[in-house]
């Protein structure tokens, strides 16, 4: 029996703009997905017969990546993430499944997190018709603070490059890691609106908006600049600066039409107790994030406003095998 864990992620800056080659900054969060696999005499998932077509991430990893031909597996999944909420739950599922299967089939080989990030990205791309940035899977595999960009970003440590053939042609990203200072009295609080965030639809909506109103590219470029200054503040431990950059980023995300009344409601509810707040992920529902020194108070405000809170430190560890 093997159990693996992979964390979810929170994009601090740069969602949507990263699709246009601008940088994005994401941190891993404390909550994530745990997968336990054990050899059995029949295939099962959560005690039910395993149907590969209903679980494209898992079946891609078993069949296409590992070409697994061993005994049937009993697969159990425990998730601490809201699903379809912009917290990278499918990336965390792919990564923990990849990590668990790696350890089951090659127990003597240490887990290579870059290979795991590539496996996770392949599973995401396979399930999303070839359109997926490596942000979620790289952040979940590596942990910490990850910067994904069309070009290498100064002041960060380059980890690997990734290329994907998409229906729109070949796309490449550079994946880097930014060092996080000691952040003892700082938390992020995620607030889930309860509405699913349809990533594909939101990304397509931004592209249609830019076609109709080309001046919206100014917002995309501005998000890129805000991301760079937010990253600089983060590296210096200037959390007030990070909060201000988050607020400015949210204004630009609102301009490109990806916020919604429920996200706006949760953001207004936490403003008095936050250094900054914005939507995180694709928007249109999903989650907002508050950067705060008062996580319990912010969580209460989110609950009172009708959302579901999740408190986390910034940039906890990446994917790992858990002791039995």
Which residues inside 170-209 make contact with ligand MEV, applying CB under 6 A? 199, 203
Q: Determine the interface stretch with ligand MEV among 74-82, 92-100, 133-141, 175-183 (rule: CB under 6 A).
A: 133-141
Q: Determine the interface stretch with ligand MEV among 33-41, 44-52, 128-136, 287-295 (rule: CB under 6 A).
A: 128-136
Ranked by CB distance to ligand MEV, the top (closest) residue is 133
Longest dimension (CA), the chain: 60
- Sign, CA torsion 229/234/236/242: positive
For residue 276, state whether it binds ligand MEV (rule: CB under 6 A): no
User: Cα 96–25–80 angle (5° rounding)?
Assistant: 35
Q: Determine the interface stretch with ligand MEV among 127-135, 213-221, 237-245, 295-303 (rule: CB under 6 A).
A: 127-135
Q: Out of 2, 10, 18, 267, point to the residue binding ligand MEV (CB under 6 A).
A: 18
Nearest to 3 by CA among 110, 68, 65, 75: 75
- Sign, CA torsion 191/26/124/220: positive
- Tell me how far, at minimum, the Cβ of 91 lies from ligand MEV, in Å: 9
- Tell me how far, at minimum, the Cβ of 131 lies from ligand MEV, in Å: 7
Q: CA-CA distances (angstroms) from residue 232 to 180, 214, 236? A: 11, 29, 6
- Tell me how far, at minimum, the Cβ of 275 lies from ligand MEV, in Å: 22
Q: Out of 86, 120, 191, 284, point to the residue binding ligand MEV (CB under 6 A).
A: 86
Question: What is the C-alpha to C-alpha distance for residues 232 and 26, in angstroms, rounded to an integer?
Answer: 14
Q: State which residue, 135 or 274, has the beta carbon closest to ligand MEV.
A: 135
Written as six digits, the tokens of 277 are 């707040």
Segment holding 148, helix H or strand E: strand 145-149
For residue 219, state whether it binds ligand MEV (rule: CB under 6 A): no
CB 249 within 8 A of CB 228: no
Q: State which residue, 32 or 281, has the beta carbon closest to ligand MEV.
A: 281
Contact set with ligand MEV (CB under 6 A): 11, 15-16, 18-19, 86, 132-133, 135-136, 199, 203, 281-282
């Amino acid at each position: 029996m093997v159990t693996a864990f992979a964390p979810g992620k929170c994009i601090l800056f740069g969602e949507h703009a990263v699709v246009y080659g601008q940088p994005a900054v994401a941190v891993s969060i404390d909550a994530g997905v745990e997968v336990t696999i054990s050899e059995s005499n029949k295939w099962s998932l959560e005690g039910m017969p395993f149907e590969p077509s209903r679980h494209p991430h898992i079946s891609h990893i078993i069949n296409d990546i590992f070409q697994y031909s061993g005994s049937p597996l009993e697969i159990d999944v425990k998730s601490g993430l809201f699903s379809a909420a912009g917290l990278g739950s499918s990336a965390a599922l792919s990564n923990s499944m990849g990590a668990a299967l790696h350890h089951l089939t090659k127990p003597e080989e240490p887990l290579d997190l870059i290979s795991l990030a590539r496996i996770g990205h392949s599973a995401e791309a396979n399930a999303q018709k070839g359109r997926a940035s490596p942000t979620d899977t790289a952040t979940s595999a590596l942990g910490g603070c990850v910067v994904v960009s069309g070009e290498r970003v100064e002041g960060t440590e380059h980890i690997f490059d990734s290329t994907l053939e998409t229906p729109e042609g070949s796309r490449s990203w550079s994946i880097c890691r930014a060092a996080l200072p000691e952040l003892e009295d700082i938390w992020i609080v995620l607030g889930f609106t309860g509405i699913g965030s349809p990533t594909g639809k939101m990304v397509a909506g931004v592209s249609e908006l830019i076609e109709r109103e080309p001046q919206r590219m100014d917002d995309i470029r501005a998000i890129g600049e805000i991301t760079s200054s937010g990253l600089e503040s983060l590296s210096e431990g200037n959390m007030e600066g990070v909060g201000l950059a988050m607020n400015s980023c949210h204004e630009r995300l609102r301009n490109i039409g990806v916020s919604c009344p429920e996200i706006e409601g949760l953001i207004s509810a936490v403003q008095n107790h936050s250094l900054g707040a914005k939507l995180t992920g694709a928007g249109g529902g999903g989650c907002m994030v508050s950067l705060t020194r008062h996580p319990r108070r912010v969580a209460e405000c989110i609950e009172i406003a009708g959302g579901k809170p999740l408190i986390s430190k910034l940039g906890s560890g990446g994917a790992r095998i858990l002791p039995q």
